[in-house]
Amino acid sequence: MGSVKDLRIIRQPEPDKAGEGIFTFSDRYSVFDWGEMPDLIPDKGKSIAILGAHFFELAEKNGFKTHYIGMDSEGKATRLGALRSASSAMCVKIFNVYRPPLLPDKTYDYSQYKGISRNYLIPLEVIYRNRLPEGSSVFKRLKSGEITPSDLGLDAMPEPGSELKNPIYDVSTKLERTDRYIKWDEAERISGLDSKRISRLKDMLNQLNNLITEEFAKLGLVNEDGKIEFAVDESGEICIVDVFGTLDECRFTYEGMPVSKEVARIYYRKTEWFEALNRAKEKDRQNFREICEKQPERLPSEFREAIADLYRYCTNRLTGREWFAGVPELKESINVIKRFI
């Protein structure tokens, strides 16, 4: 399906009926829209799947609709409480995906979303921002003039590391070759959602942001920002899809240190590959990977294992079960990571 997980379709979705599929979360990872990187992060797939299931089940207890059915265990959908050991496979409902075609003028045609009211993936990634850490895309967009502080509800230009008085709710495209940040009026125009559903989307994002924040606060972690994806289900209601609240979908910090795949981003920002990648994106946003002059290097093995332990630790602690044995305390893994970034 993508750079970090695969989809096996059990039953195709129909125009008015959801299908079924199995997500298999791999140990692959991606940064900067590159796609699959040269390393695998051990146990990352199982960690993300289990923690994703934890948040889906928690969301359902709080009244949200999701596409989650259960974890795949010997061909059966099983809730976490009955799962015997860690699994990387999740049973989910799947909805119709309408990919907007790229036009000759390099814009995308979203006209097929007009008149659609149910059973489809919303072609947006919705982002919450509680802080603006160094490296946040917000600073690049502010510098280029793409957005202004007032667009974000701010009175002045923010500094890296700023804690926001109120969360910022941002939105980008989901099904284009490269994600593109847009404003909410364009999101409404291209997505097939009316203003009432856009308001519902923002309200859900706010509540889920609070849910994630409360969970990770139990570990002493700060929820900096994250993304959530949604669909409109068979009954016309908005439901949560993909996964959310994981170390891939969010950025967390512990005493100022990143606890997510952000540590890999920081490492790669110091490399020649990252400089070449930015040059390629400036030349051609659609085909930047093909024209990039450098390839990403592999991560040092000790650094890679410490990243894996971040994933294992958070999954063990938040679910209250030892899915992964022998995981060091969080500070030990962070001390290793500090040496590299």
pLDDT tens digit at each of 341 positions of the chain: 567 899 999 999 999 999 999 999 999 999 998 989 999 999 999 999 999 999 999 999 999 999 999 999 988 999 999 999 999 999 999 999 999 999 999 899 999 999 898 999 999 999 999 999 877 889 988 988 888 888 888 888 998 888 888 999 999 999 998 889 999 999 999 999 999 999 999 999 999 999 999 999 999 999 999 999 999 999 999 999 999 999 999 999 999 899 988 899 999 999 999 999 999 999 998 899 999 999 999 999 999 999 999 999 999 999 999 999 999 999 999 999 999 99
Are 42 and 305 within 8 A, CB to CB? yes
Nearest to 19 by CA among 8, 28, 27: 8
- CA-based radius of gyration for the chain: 20
- pLDDT, position 229: 97
d(CA 34, CA 270): 16
pLDDT of residue 140: 87
Confirm if 87 and 315 have CB atoms less than 8 A apart.
no
Work out whether strand 76-78 and strand 162-173 pair parallel, antiparallel, or are unpaired.
unpaired
- pLDDT at site 83: 96
d(CA 66, CA 87): 19
Q: Give the Cα separation of 275 and 260 in Å (integer).
A: 22
Cα 324 to chain centroid, rounded: 23
* Cβ proximity of 23 and 6 under 8 Å: yes
Selection from 60, 47, 61, 54 nearest residue 80 by Cα? 54
Q: Which residues contact 117 (CB under 8 A, 6 or more apart)?
A: 192, 232, 236
User: DSSP string spanning 177-227?
Assistant: SS--EE-HHHHHHHHS--HHHHHHHHHHHHHHHHHHHHHHHTTT-EEEEEE
**φ and ψ at 77, to 5 degrees?**
-75, 120
- What pLDDT, on a 0 to 100 scale, did the predictor assign at position 165? 87
Q: Which of 3.60.15.30, 3.30.470.20, 3.90.580.10, 3.10.450.350 would CATH assign to domain 5-340?
A: 3.30.470.20
Q: Are 202 and 228 in contact (CB under 8 A)?
A: no
Distances (CA, A) of 201 to 18, 126, 218, 225, 328: 20, 9, 26, 17, 38
Q: What is the length of the chain?
A: 341
Distances (CA, A) of 211 to 81, 120, 168, 245, 302: 20, 25, 16, 9, 33
